[in-house]
Amino acid sequence: MTPQDASIASEKLCRMAPIIPVIVVDDPAHAKPLAEALVRGGLPVLEVTLRTAAALEVIAEMASVEGGVVGAGTLLTPADVTAAKNAGAKFGVSPGATDRLLDAVEDADLPTLPGAATSSEVMRLLERGYTVQKFFPAEANGGAPALKAIGAPLPQVRFCPTGGVSLKNANDYLSLSNTLCCGGSWVAPKDLMIKGDWDGIEKLAAEAAALPRS
């Protein structure tokens, strides 16, 4: 998969909903009902971070949920790419980007949102062919004003800002012309998962799905 093809695929995913849930799951038993609740609420694209021992099993469980598109976040190594794809991930997300990782996702035909935090990192990815990128960590790097400023000289790049994005500030990003969607963890809070409050999570998802975009 070329970076250009990956960017086309990533843009389609990003346009499916204004928010991509960034999911951290410890218990695989939560995977399917969580995914079903998020999809019912209008958030079909699901990013499962590879931060727990259960992550690959969670991806496999969520991959069977009708209407959902599950991907793997926190891709750091080629081994992560292989494991994520074998588990059923349809896309990837990385906090940054190295040549080794980009080679791996391209060889695996796994469309991936590579992370960038500075203009130089954005330019380097653009030079390789990635016109859709992850802006991370968004709030720590200046938030929406910084992303708007980056967009002025680099209007051909679109972003999914993640990191510190919440219901309170999501509109600041979504109103920008260079933002396709945002990544956010608030729609899948751990306390509601532990309680099994899937209706509560569906409500959070519906609220997020209704956010306007530019």
Among all residues, which ones are annotated catalytic? 47, 134
Instruction: Write the CB contacts of 86 (distance below 8 Å, at least 6 apart in sequence).
Output: none
CB 101 within 8 A of CB 71: no
**CB neighbour class for 116 (10 Å; exposed up to 12, middle 13-18, buried from 19):** buried
Q: What is 93-123 written as a DSSP string?
A: E-SS--HHHHHHHHHTT--EE-EE-SHHHHH
Q: How far is CA 179 from CA 69, 82, 124, 158, in A?
A: 20, 29, 19, 6
- Which runs of consecutive H residues, i.e. helices, occur in the chain? 3-14, 31-40, 55-62, 78-87, 99-107, 119-128, 143-151, 170-174, 190-195, 198-209
Distance of CA 99 to the CA centre of its chain: 20
| Structure-token pair, residue 110 | 């796994």
CA distance 150 to 148: 5
